[in-house]
């Protein structure tokens, strides 16, 4: 019990390789990094030694002086299809670079800052984060040390780059669509606002969902309609339950505008379960996740091109790593994709 249970063989180090190849450590380091000043002969020697010893550089040791060649992604929810699209876009953009992606998902009851910190602690060379609810001042401090790209924040910063969809336009399109179809009892279902209201709220840095809700309210007001906003957790089954409640009410809505597709899918399931369909209740989501276009779902949604957001995030980060210092702000276009789930209000 006290003696080593399984002998873990010591993996070979750069020193071992140097000895094996009969050169100095520094020389080996140069070969690995493809640095300048290496003769073909030595490169061959060293490469052979590396092969023989199955040497692999330790990223941890490497990170202490140089770079870790790792980009960190903070993702609030691994299962979320919209975030998945972002990751896919990023993966694509990273394909021909020496950088490796690691994802730090949020633990249970964890806030985004925990995961961001954990990435920073691991000396990643850059961070992409999707946390609309962390203090911008804190983010700026993080960005002083590690290049940072924030997705889905409408605030402006001098230190980190931001990427958003055009939430205002997207929500406008949704409302124009629904109002144009003749709907008047339109309910907006979205996630709970941050509570207690953080001190930095109300600044320009409104979260995407807040912007969408604001547009909803504006358009309802302009149309002379009574807005009704229902808050749920970020979770389809909560949306499902809330919708069942709405549908049971005497003057049930003829349309539901969900703050995102996860909620919208939950809404759809409640509508179906209540024996209703698109002719009874129109449903519109936001994000245009892949399943939305499935013929059995056919969810009308706003496409803000998650793939492109991810690609762009990586591009901005790589630019930073190459020396850019001014902050950049990128906004992706929002396009409404009309599908089966929304239609003209039914004559009663």
Partner DNA sequence: TGCTCCCACTGAAAGGATTCATCGGTGCGA
Partner DNA sequence: TCGCACCGATGAATCCTTTCAGTGGGAGCA
Residue pointed to by tokens 């597709």: 261
Our finding on whether 144 is near its own copies (CB under 8 A) is yes
For residues 58 to 77, the per-residue mask of contacts with its own copies, x marking binding by CB under 8 A and - elsewhere, is xxxx-xx---x-x-------
Our finding on whether 272 is near its own copies (CB under 8 A) is yes
Residue 289 exposure: Cα atoms within 13 Å on the Cβ side: 18
Our finding on whether 305 is near its own copies (CB under 8 A) is no
Our finding on whether 100 is near DNA (CB under 7 A) is no
Alpha helices by DSSP H, 95-207: 112-121, 136-145, 167-180
List the one residue from 48, 51, 52, 66 that touches DNA (CB under 7 A): 66
Integer angstrom CA distances of residue 208 from 45, 133, 165, 211, 335:
56, 11, 8, 5, 15
List the one residue from 20, 49, 50, 62 that touches DNA (CB under 7 A): 62
List the one residue from 116, 171, 220, 265 that touches its own copies (CB under 8 A): 265
**Terminal CA-CA length for the chain:** 79
Our finding on whether 117 is near DNA (CB under 7 A) is no
Instruction: Report the partner that residue 24 touches, choosing among its own copies, DNA, none (CB closer than 5 to 8 A by kind).
Output: DNA
Our finding on whether 269 is near its own copies (CB under 8 A) is yes
By C-beta, is 50 or 278 nearer to DNA?
A: 50
Choose among 312, 308, 322, 314: nearest CA to 101.
314
Cβ atoms 76, 112 nearer than 8 A: yes
Our finding on whether 101 is near its own copies (CB under 8 A) is yes
Backbone angles phi, psi at 35, to 5 degrees: -80, 170
Our finding on whether 225 is near DNA (CB under 7 A) is no
For residues 19 to 58, the per-residue mask of contacts with DNA, x marking binding by CB under 7 A and - elsewhere, is ---xxxxxxxxx-xx-xxxxx-xx------------xxxx
By C-beta, is 45 or 131 nearer to DNA?
A: 45
DSSP 229-249: EEEE-SSHHHHHHHHHHHHHS
Integer angstrom CA distances of residue 250 from 32, 185, 253:
71, 12, 9
Our finding on whether 123 is near its own copies (CB under 8 A) is yes
Work out how close the CB of 285 gets to its own copies at its nearest, in angstroms, rounded to a whole number. Answer: 13
Our finding on whether 229 is near its own copies (CB under 8 A) is no
Instruction: Report the partner that residue 118 touches, choosing among DNA, its own copies, none (CB closer than 5 to 8 A by kind).
Output: its own copies
3-state secondary structure of 99: coil
- Contact region with its own copies (CB under 8 A), list: 14-22, 23-31, 174-182, 292-300: 292-300
Instruction: Report the partner that residue 117 touches, choosing among its own copies, DNA, none (CB closer than 5 to 8 A by kind).
Output: its own copies
Our finding on whether 98 is near its own copies (CB under 8 A) is no
Residues contacting residue 324 through CB under 8 Å, at least 6 positions apart: none
Choose among 251, 283, 245: nearest CA to 267.
283
Neighbouring-strand partners of residue 300? 284
Task: Please report, as ranges, the residues that interact with DNA according to CB under 7 A.
Answer: 10-11, 13-15, 22-30, 32-33, 35-39, 41-42, 55-58, 61-62, 64-66
């Amino acid at each position: 019990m006290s003696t080593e249970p399984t002998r873990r063989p010591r993996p070979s180090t750069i020193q071992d390789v140097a000895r094996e190849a009969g050169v100095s450590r520094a020389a080996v380091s140069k070969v690995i990094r493809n640095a300048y000043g290496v003769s073909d002969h030595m490169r061959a020697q060293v490469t052979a030694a590396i092969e023989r010893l199955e040497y692999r550089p330790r990223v941890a040791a490497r990170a202490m002086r140089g770079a870790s060649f790792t980009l960190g992604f903070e993702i609030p929810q691994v299962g979320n299809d919209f975030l998945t699209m972002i990751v896919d876009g990023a993966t694509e953009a990273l394909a021909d670079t020496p950088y490796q992606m690691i994802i730090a998902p949020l633990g249970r009851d964890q806030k985004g800052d925990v995961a961001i910190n954990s990435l920073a602690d691991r000396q990643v060379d850059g961070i992409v984060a999707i946390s609309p609810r962390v203090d911008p001042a804190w983010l700026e401090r993080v960005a002083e040390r590690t290049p940072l790209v924030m997705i889905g924040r409408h605030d402006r910063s001098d230190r980190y780059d931001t990427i958003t969809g055009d939430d205002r336009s997207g929500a406008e399109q949704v409302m124009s669509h629904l109002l144009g179809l003749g709907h008047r009892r339109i309910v907006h279902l979205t996630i709970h606002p941050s509570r207690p209201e953080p001190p930095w709220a109300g600044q320009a840095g409104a979260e995407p969902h807040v912007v969408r809700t604001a547009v909803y309210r504006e358009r309802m007001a302009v149309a002379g309609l009574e807005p009704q906003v229902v808050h749920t957790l970020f979770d389809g089954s909560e949306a499902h339950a809330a919708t069942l409640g709405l549908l049971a009410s005497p003057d049930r809505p003829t349309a539901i505008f969900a703050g995102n597709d996860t909620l919208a899918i939950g809404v759809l399931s409640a509508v179906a379960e209540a024996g209703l369909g698109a002719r009874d209740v129109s449903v519109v989501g936001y994000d245009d996740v892949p399943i939305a276009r499935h013929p059995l779902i056919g969810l009308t949604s706003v496409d803000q091109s998650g793939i492109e957001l991810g690609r762009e995030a990586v591009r901005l980060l790589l630019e930073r790593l190459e020396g850019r210092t001014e902050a950049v702000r990128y906004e992706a276009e929002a396009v409404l994709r009309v599908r089966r789930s929304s239609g003209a209000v039914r004559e009663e």
